[in-house]
Chains A and B, each alone.
Chain A
């Protein structure tokens, strides 16, 4: 889907307004939009609303083998998803330029600044370390995705708790959250990025551009800083030429903004910690605004089940009984699938080699998902042993190759062997002259 094109009149008006120091929503040049930080039910899930831009970050961890050149350090992995929900211009799966840019900037901002103590993530040196994965999803794009993403990522990292690990000699036990309280990550400092957009070849600048301002801007300067006034990353894109004083001025503005945002962030973390300690439910149902007419909540309700058994009995009795007697059904033996009836070829292609390969996979990774058709056929097969059952394995073909991972039989005539539920794959190759 394409985004609505920008009309000339809109562009001219926006530039004229910026020259007069006026912004679309009435902000001042250095003002941020209203920011709101909320947390989810589990540790490590954080939502950031920057005006109408909405972003969600989730932190998760798992034990992996470390990199060879850094056996003592944990691994940090960042991923920014430009979800198609955020804007009609974002497409699923396509690694667009914007996505690459945002990912790179977030990595530089958080990983290269060494804000997380990766050595504390080491469990067994050289063998097992924690891999911390941060996924940031864009939910609504109204400008300045980078700042919102960086705030969400660092807040989620501060909020996250990893499972406690106990080492006794050679044995490593990972305790579940019920056994031992999970512990927070050790974070040295909180880098936050501040974006400046430049217009008219660097003459005018705006902090926190909204989506329309982003469309008419010439270039973008992103400064990632922490509250100790240390610059973690600085990037200028768009090809604008900035003077030294401009960059210095921007860094001063950034330090002011970063301290404000860090304060807001810490306050939000504090409130959340307090709420969790009090034991109140921190789910989403609570955080939903009740006063809005677009929101509604309903409490736990019960469903009446009084006449359910009678209805069910009725339905089962009324439906036709499955056909028990079928004359000469063509039934595939368990472990074998088939396309077509296996009888007369009606395609009109004669004298040609036909190759039909079927695969029948009747297992899932974790659970057993039984295909009801196979069940029925097994029932039919059992019930109609007295009928004239044509089993596919017993066929007119010369060359029947059935491959079983457990029993590698090349040319069996009789394939009564039951296939295992997990991971059984049977393929049948049929060649007809």
Chain B
């Protein structure tokens, strides 16, 4: 199966396509026969002894044996450890309810901030933006967010947002922004200095030195969702030359 998967890497597959183990007619008795191991990522599911594709997209491969489906999607499904931008909707007692664009609102305890104790409560109002990560995120339980990492430090998380603009983009663009040595980010850095917070739920926050520049950057990012690298570079170049 590993060989068929590798052959079809980079192909566009649809739900319903499957990979099954080929039965070898002859297994060599002398040479070593190692069991194949395949790690399935999002979009691939195991069903019995077959591997089923359940989302449409391009099959990607990472050495040594990780495969997943790269699809264009807008709706976010929470996963543990991912950092997102959420909006606080309810402040009730000890727990805040945060909307992150999923099927339910996540809960964020007031103690999950750096340096907060029962006496020293964090300053969070309804409507604030929080950058936090998922502590619990599976399909059966209510998602739970925290603004500290495992050692108790904030590490960039927490309430933020004055003066910037938050907007939504597709999940694919967010993933492209977060890859190491991201091209989009590199192109953006050459434009204007700005602060950028990337939430994996498709929300981005931008702040630049003036309102105009912030608007330009947010429009650029929203439009380069659907552009190839070349078109994007052309567009950025035009903007840099001052077609503001």
Contacts and interface: CB of A to CB of B under 8 A. Distances in A.
Nearest to A18: B211
B127 A13 contact: no
A16 B212 CA distance: 11
B129 A7 contact: yes
B122 interface: no
Interface residues of A, number: 17
Contacts, number: 52
Interface string B154-174: 000000011111100000000
A17 B166 contact: no
B231 interface: no
A263 to B, nearest CB: 29
B162 A9 contact: yes
B124 to A, nearest CB: 11
B237 to A, nearest CB: 18
Contacts of B18: none
A247 to B, nearest CB: 29
Contact of B127 (A7, A16, A20): A7
A347 to B, nearest CB: 36
Instruction: Name the interface size band of chain B.
Output: 20 to 34
A7 B211 contact: no
Given A4-B99, A4-B101, A24 B215 contact: yes
Nearest to B168: A4
Interface in A1-56: 4-13, 16-17, 20, 22, 24-26
Given A13-B165, A20-B211, A25 B219 contact: yes
Contacts of A4: 87, 99, 101
A269 to B, nearest CB: 32
A22 B99 contact: no
Interface in B110-144: 125, 127-129
22 contacts: A5-B89, A7-B87, A7-B127, A7-B128, A7-B129, A7-B166, A8-B127, A8-B161, A9-B164, A9-B165, A9-B205, A10-B165, A12-B162, A13-B163, A13-B165, A16-B211, A20-B212, A22-B215, A24-B215, A24-B218, A24-B219, A26-B215
Which 4 pairs show the lowest CB-CB distances between chains A and B? A9-B161, A8-B127, A7-B87, A13-B165
Interface of A: 4-13, 16-17, 20, 22, 24-26
